């Protein structure tokens, strides 16, 4: 078995190298190896100092996340944590300077090991962070205690509650890192360590009190963070727990704080929130693996791109390419539309600059990568084209026919269609192997999801290239099958159907939205539609009627179409399911909706009655999971985890609840099936249990098969 931690000596400095690919996680054997290495260095008379460094592409990316699932109970968690805390104290108590050398990322337990060292040096591209809350836990190896002692309470609270990584430059400014090494990291770390040894300096972070000494400042930062989290946490518990552990150390000192951290960590690691978030972490990585598309599939290099259509989506997609440094041609059908599209892009970038997220130079650089076009000139040079014209089958088919002619033979031809049949575009292009769906979500430059829609003839190379490209574009790519609406929108139709029907039965628009935001959705179904545009769904329904289809089985509420006919498209027209004052996005309930709901209810012979919040949540969630089961059965989604990743990144489904399929599993599929049967008896035959749900419930199984 390869050695997880190596010990060598160079220039009188012991080098303890962690070598546990791919990310040097703290798997069993790694902490023990570091402990032994530091102890050996302390005893080695030929050694003046110690450098702790990672082999490969990164320092330690954290605890081994797989291990959390093996913690059977609280006592085991507490016992393990005590041992890790003691180990880190031994490192900190080493009489010789211990310098941590960081490249890649020092995350979670990785940063905690780094902070147990006396000093930290890093390359300019290194990142550090305490992302534990994103896994439903808190830093469990002293991070909530040592971090505030290095950077103060406000920054520690920020890092531990948001889970974001920060770069070496900020880490230096905050006091987390002591020195940036511009050249060779190991050589720089050795030189730094020897200088500290010569000066006889070791600095134990646990003894540093200066940055937390002002109790008033610390308490204010803690209270401000708690207040802000109340607005943003959407029901997640871990960020509050992280603050509690930090507060305990600020008030009671390092030892009391550490003891509290250990207890809180144990509660978190055994919680449903943590189980859901960890499942989602691995589901996201699993989504990058597509059965039948081998890992070693050769991919095409995407150096240049083109986008057809500079509307809402095309503009955002072009920004994604420019942000990734890929030059992109942006084609429109006329100059006015092109000018409008470019002006919107410029406005978006200027807004980012105004918020300090970009410098004016960065804005100019990305703008210079977007090349406006009114013809296909230059399309013969690009490696990929993304089509984002109106959602119209004939128009898109004609665009694909053009693209098949004007692009080079191996150019990938992607469509951003949200519903239509990729295979028809593939056929029109004459090059079906290169055709695929790249379904971005609105706003395309912000939302992280990219549904990669696999056509019947999409080649492995086209799929593998799309997956690789999604990462480069800073998106999460999930490969899905080709059907009306694919995974995200096909399931959403059932979510929306239930919301409409609940409205007709007696629930109100604000009530339904409040139930769903109370559950953790960023916005309720009606508020979401006011943002996306009621016209978009209405046009899709119009198209479906021409082919005798509907979006979701069951009664189709006329209310959204009435709003469309009234020109109430949502926020963009100042009214939709809500009213909006000029220039404001605050939804104001509108009595008109009640009138329309009454009218629709009367047409269907429904006597409107108050609807309980529980019924709203259950109906909407069960509808979503039941259609999810159909999507799985038809292999439109490869795994339940893929659906949950899609909902987390496409619609902001609360991650701590795992996703619609994990949520159904948590209810128990027997219970979900019982609900479907109850609704069928009460509400009609459109509530048909998905065969997969039936089968899994009978087997006592779950969507995840855990
Ligand atoms: N434990 C176990 N496996 C891990 C891991 C970890 N901490 N981090 C990454 N991996 C695995 C991934 O599952 C993936 O495996 P696969 O190839 O079999 O699918 C592989 O490493 C590569 O990961 P990515 O595909 O994510 O690689 P990237 O280069 O895109 O990203 C990364 C690297 C930024 C390190 C990212 O993997 C990451 O964010 N990892 C999690 C970091 C984290 O949350 N650390 C805190 C852990 S909790 C902790 O430390 C508790 C402590 O306080 C006690
Ligand atoms: P949009 O109406 O804002 O933009 C479409 C643009 O395409 C217009 O600017 C139009 O002038 C241009 N266009 C039409 N024919 C063209 C041609 N032959 N050559 C060049 N440009 C042409 O529409 P939007 O919302 O951007 O939608 C585009 C596509 O993205 C549709 O397929 C839609 O279903 C899909 N989509 C939309 C989402 C949304 O929330 N708006 C979300 C995800 C996908």
Share of the chain above pLDDT 70, in %: 100
Angle at 383 between CA 379 and CA 385, to 5 degrees: 60
- Residues 480-501 as b/e (b if ≥16 CB within 10 A, e otherwise) read bbbbbbbbbbbbbbbbbbbbbb
Mean pLDDT across 417-436: 96
**What would the pLDDT profile of 462-490 be if each residue is shown by its tens digit?**
999 999 999 999 999 999 999 999 999 99
Minimal-distance CA residue to ligand 1 atom 47? 62
> Does pTM surpass 0.75?
yes
Give the pLDDT band (50/70/90) at residue 420.
very high
Mean pLDDT across 532-545: 90
The rounded distance, in Å, linking the Cα atoms of 420 and 455 is: 11
Mean pLDDT across 125-131: 98
**Ligand 2 atom with minimal separation from the 331 CA:** 20
Taking a C-beta distance cutoff of 8 angstroms, is the pair 518, 506 a contact? no
In the reported structure, the alpha carbon of residue 625 is separated from the centroid of ligand 2 by a whole-number distance in angstroms of 30
State the pLDDT at residue 251.
93
Minimal-distance CA residue to ligand 2 atom 31? 391
String of DSSP letters for 257-288: HHHHHHHHHHHHHTSHHHHHHHHHHHHHHHTT
Burial category of 273 from C-beta neighbours within 10 Å (exposed 0-12, middle 13-18, buried 19 and up): buried
The rounded distance, in Å, linking the Cα atoms of 491 and 557 is: 17
User: How many CA atoms are closer than 13 Å to the CA of 699, on its beta-carbon side?
Assistant: 11
Name the catalytic one among 112, 261, 273, 498: 112
In the reported structure, the alpha carbon of residue 62 is separated from the centroid of ligand 1 by a whole-number distance in angstroms of 7
In the reported structure, the alpha carbon of residue 696 is separated from the centroid of ligand 1 by a whole-number distance in angstroms of 31
Question: ω before 22 within 30° of 0 (cis)?
Answer: yes
In the reported structure, the alpha carbon of residue 638 is separated from the centroid of ligand 2 by a whole-number distance in angstroms of 28
State the pLDDT at residue 532.
87
What are the pocket residues of ligand 2 if the criterion is a CB atom closer than 6 Å to any ligand atom?
A: 308-314, 331-333, 337, 388-391, 395, 399, 416-418, 440-442, 532, 536
Minimal-distance CA residue to ligand 2 atom 18? 333
**What would the pLDDT profile of 612-654 be if each residue is shown by its tens digit?**
999 999 999 999 999 999 999 999 999 999 999 999 999 999 9
pLDDT at 590 over 80: yes
- Any idea what DSSP says for residue 556? P
When the pLDDT of each residue in the chain is averaged and rounded to a whole number, the result is 96
**Ligand 1 atom with minimal separation from the 84 CA:** 54
**What would the pLDDT profile of 359-381 be if each residue is shown by its tens digit?**
999 999 999 999 999 999 999 99
| Ligand 2 probe mutation, 306, 308, 310, 313, most atoms within 8 A of CB | 313
User: CB 218: neighbour CB atoms within 10 A?
Assistant: 23
Q: Report which bound ligand comes closest to the CA of 309.
A: 2
Q: Report which bound ligand comes closest to the CA of 140.
A: 1
Rg, C-alpha atoms of the chain: 28
The rounded distance, in Å, linking the Cα atoms of 613 and 506 is: 12
The rounded distance, in Å, linking the Cα atoms of 537 and 528 is: 12
pLDDT at 1 over 60: no
Q: Tell me the C-alpha to C-alpha distance, in Å, between residue 352 and each of 24, 349, 475.
A: 35, 5, 19
| Ligand 1 probe mutation, 59, 60, 62, most atoms within 8 A of CB | 62
DSSP helix/strand/coil, 469: helix
**Ligand 1 atom with minimal separation from the 288 CA:** 19
State the pLDDT at residue 554.
87
In the reported structure, the alpha carbon of residue 416 is separated from the centroid of ligand 2 by a whole-number distance in angstroms of 8
The rounded distance, in Å, linking the Cα atoms of 591 and 428 is: 48
Q: Report which bound ligand comes closest to the CA of 329.
A: 2
565 classed as catalytic: no
Give the pLDDT band (50/70/90) at residue 132.
very high
| Ligand 2 probe mutation, 386, 388, 489, most atoms within 8 A of CB | 388
| Ligand 2 probe mutation, 306, 307, 310, 314, most atoms within 8 A of CB | 314
Q: Report which bound ligand comes closest to the CA of 570.
A: 2
The rounded distance, in Å, linking the Cα atoms of 430 and 274 is: 48
What are the pocket residues of ligand 1 if the criterion is a CB atom closer than 6 Å to any ligand atom?
A: 22-23, 25, 61-66, 105, 107-109, 112, 131-132, 135, 139-141, 143, 285
> Distance between the two ends of the chain, CA-based, in angstroms?
30
Minimal-distance CA residue to ligand 2 atom 15? 389
132 classed as catalytic: yes
State the pLDDT at residue 559.
97
**What would the pLDDT profile of 230-270 be if each residue is shown by its tens digit?**
999 989 999 999 999 999 999 999 999 999 999 999 999 99
User: CB 612: neighbour CB atoms within 10 A?
Assistant: 11
In the reported structure, the alpha carbon of residue 60 is separated from the centroid of ligand 1 by a whole-number distance in angstroms of 9
Residues 6+ apart with CB under 8 A from 704: 279, 640, 641, 661, 662, 665
Give the pLDDT band (50/70/90) at residue 547.
confident
In the reported structure, the alpha carbon of residue 579 is separated from the centroid of ligand 2 by a whole-number distance in angstroms of 26
- Token representation of residue 313: 């989506």
Residue at token pair 């770390």: 189
Give the pLDDT band (50/70/90) at residue 44.
very high
Q: Report which bound ligand comes closest to the CA of 242.
A: 1
In the reported structure, the alpha carbon of residue 442 is separated from the centroid of ligand 2 by a whole-number distance in angstroms of 11
The rounded distance, in Å, linking the Cα atoms of 544 and 561 is: 13
Strand intervals (E) in 399-506: 412-415, 435-440, 449-453, 476-480
- Token representation of residue 349: 């970038």
In the reported structure, the alpha carbon of residue 60 is separated from the centroid of ligand 2 by a whole-number distance in angstroms of 44
Using alpha carbons, select from 610, 580, 614, 582 the residue that is nearest to residue 594: 610
Name the catalytic one among 3, 92, 132, 634: 132
The rounded distance, in Å, linking the Cα atoms of 553 and 568 is: 25
**What would the pLDDT profile of 438-458 be if each residue is shown by its tens digit?**
999 989 999 999 999 999 999
pLDDT at 354 over 80: yes
Taking a C-beta distance cutoff of 8 angstroms, is the pair 482, 454 a contact? yes
Query: SS3 for 202-233, per residue?
Result: CCCHHHCCHHHCCHHHHHHHHHHHHHHHHHHC
Taking a C-beta distance cutoff of 8 angstroms, is the pair 463, 479 a contact? yes
Q: Report which bound ligand comes closest to the CA of 64.
A: 1
| Ligand 2 probe mutation, 334, 342, 390, 487, most atoms within 8 A of CB | 390
- Token representation of residue 331: 């084609």
User: CB 702: neighbour CB atoms within 10 A?
Assistant: 18
In the reported structure, the alpha carbon of residue 362 is separated from the centroid of ligand 1 by a whole-number distance in angstroms of 30
Angle at 465 between CA 463 and CA 468, to 5 degrees: 110
- Token representation of residue 50: 């110690």
Q: Tell me the C-alpha to C-alpha distance, in Å, between residue 213 and each of 142, 208, 495.
A: 18, 9, 52
In the reported structure, the alpha carbon of residue 563 is separated from the centroid of ligand 2 by a whole-number distance in angstroms of 22
Taking a C-beta distance cutoff of 8 angstroms, is the pair 481, 632 a contact? no
The rounded distance, in Å, linking the Cα atoms of 71 and 264 is: 15
Minimal-distance CA residue to ligand 2 atom 29? 388
User: CB 509: neighbour CB atoms within 10 A?
Assistant: 25
Residues in the chain: 706
**Ligand 1 atom with minimal separation from the 65 CA:** 1
| Cross-strand partners of 589 | 578
Residues 6+ apart with CB under 8 A from 8: 14, 15, 17
pLDDT at 519 over 80: yes
State the pLDDT at residue 2.
67
Residues 6+ apart with CB under 8 A from 479: 287, 290, 293, 452, 454, 463, 466, 467, 638, 642
Phi, psi of 271 (to 5 degrees): -85, 160
Query: SS3 for 581-614, per residue?
Result: CCCCCCCEECHHHHHHHHHHHHHCCCCCCCCCHH
State the pLDDT at residue 586.
95
């Amino acid at each position: 078995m390869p050695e997880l931690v190596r010990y060598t000596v160079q220039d009188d400095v012991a080098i303890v190298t962690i070598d546990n690919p791919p990310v040097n996680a703290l798997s069993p054997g790694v902490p023990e190896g570091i402990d032994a290495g530091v102890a050996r260095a302390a005893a080695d008379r030929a050694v003046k100092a110690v450098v702790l460094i990672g082999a490969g592409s990164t320092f330690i990316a954290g605890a081994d996340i797989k291990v959390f699932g093996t913690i059977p109970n609280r006592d085991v968690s507490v016992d393990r944590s005590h041992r890790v805390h003691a180990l880190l104290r031994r490192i900190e108590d080493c009489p010789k300077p211990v310098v941590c050398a960081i490249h890649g990322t020092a995350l979670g337990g990785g940063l905690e090991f780094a902070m147990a060292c006396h000093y930290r040096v890093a390359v300019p591209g290194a990142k550090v962070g305490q992302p534990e809350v994103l896994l439903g836990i808190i830093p469990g190896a002293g991070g909530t205690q040592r971090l505030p002692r290095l950077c103060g309470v406000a920054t520690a609270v920020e890092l531990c509650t948001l889970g974001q990584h920060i770069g070496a430059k900020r880490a230096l400014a905050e006091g987390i890192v002591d020195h940036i090494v511009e050249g060779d990291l190991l050589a720089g770390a050795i030189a730094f360590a020897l200088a500290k040894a010569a000066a006889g300096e070791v600095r134990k972070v646990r003894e540093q009190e200066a940055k937390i000494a002002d109790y008033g400042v610390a308490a204010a930062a803690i209270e401000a963070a708690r207040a802000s989290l109340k607005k943003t946490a959407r029901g997640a518990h871990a960020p509050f727990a992280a603050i509690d552990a930090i507060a305990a150390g600020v008030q009671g000192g390092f030892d009391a704080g550490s003891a509290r951290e250990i207890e809180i960590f144990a509660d978190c690691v055994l919680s449903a929130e943590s189980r859901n978030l960890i499942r989602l972490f691995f589901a996201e990585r699993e989504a990058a693996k597509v059965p039948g598309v081998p890992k070693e599939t050769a991919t095409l290099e995407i150096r240049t791109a083109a986008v057809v259509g500079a509307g809402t989506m095309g503009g955002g997609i072009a920004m994604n390419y420019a942000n990734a440094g890929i030059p992109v041609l942006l084609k429109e059908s006329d100059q006015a539309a092109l000018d409008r599209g470019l002006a919107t892009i410029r406005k978006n970038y200027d807004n980012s600059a105004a918020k300090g997220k970009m410098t004016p130079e960065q804005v100019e650089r990305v703008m210079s990568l977007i090349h406006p076009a009114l013809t296909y000139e230059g399309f013969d040079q690009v490696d990929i084209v993304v089509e984002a014209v109106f959602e119209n089958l004939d128009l898109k088919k004609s665009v694909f026919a053009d693209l098949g002619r004007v692009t080079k033979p191996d150019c990938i031809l992607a469509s951003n269609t949200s519903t239509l049949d990729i295979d028809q575009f593939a056929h029109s292009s004459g090059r079906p192997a290169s055709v695929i769906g790249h379904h971005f979500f609105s706003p395309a430059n912000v939302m992280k999801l990219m549904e990669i829609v696999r056509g019947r003839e999409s080649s492995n190379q086209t799929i593998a290239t799309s997956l690789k490209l999604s990462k480069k574009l800073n998106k999460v790519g999930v490969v899905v099958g080709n059907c009306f609406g694919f995974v995200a929108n096909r399931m959403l139709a059932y979510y929306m159907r239930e919301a409409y029907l609940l409205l007709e039965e007696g629930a109100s628009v604000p009530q339904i939205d409040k139930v769903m935001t109370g559950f953790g959705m960023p916005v309720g179904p009606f508020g979401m539609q006011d943002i996306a545009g009621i016209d978009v769904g209405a046009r899709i329904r119009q198209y479906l009627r021409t082919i005798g289809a509907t979006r979701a089985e069951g009664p189709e509420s006329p209310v959204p179409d009435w709003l469309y006919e009234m020109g109430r498209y949502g926020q963009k027209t100042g009214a939709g399911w809500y009213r909006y004052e000029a220039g404001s996005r605050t939804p104001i309930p509108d009595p008109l909706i009640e009138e329309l709901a009454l009218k629709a209810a009367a047409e269907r012979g429904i006597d409107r009655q108050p609807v309980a919040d529980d019924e709203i949540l259950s109906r909407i969630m069960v509808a979503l999971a039941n259609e999810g089961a159909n999507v799985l059965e038809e292999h439109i989604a490869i795994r339940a985890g893929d659906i949950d990743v899609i909902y987390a990144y496409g619609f902001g489904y609360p991650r701590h609840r795992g996703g619609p399929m994990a949520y159904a599993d948590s209810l128990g599929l027997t219970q979900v099936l019982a609900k479907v049967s109850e609704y069928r008896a009460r509400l009609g035959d459109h509530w048909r249990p998905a065969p997969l749900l039936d089968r899994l419930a009978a087997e006592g199984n779950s969507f995840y098969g855990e």
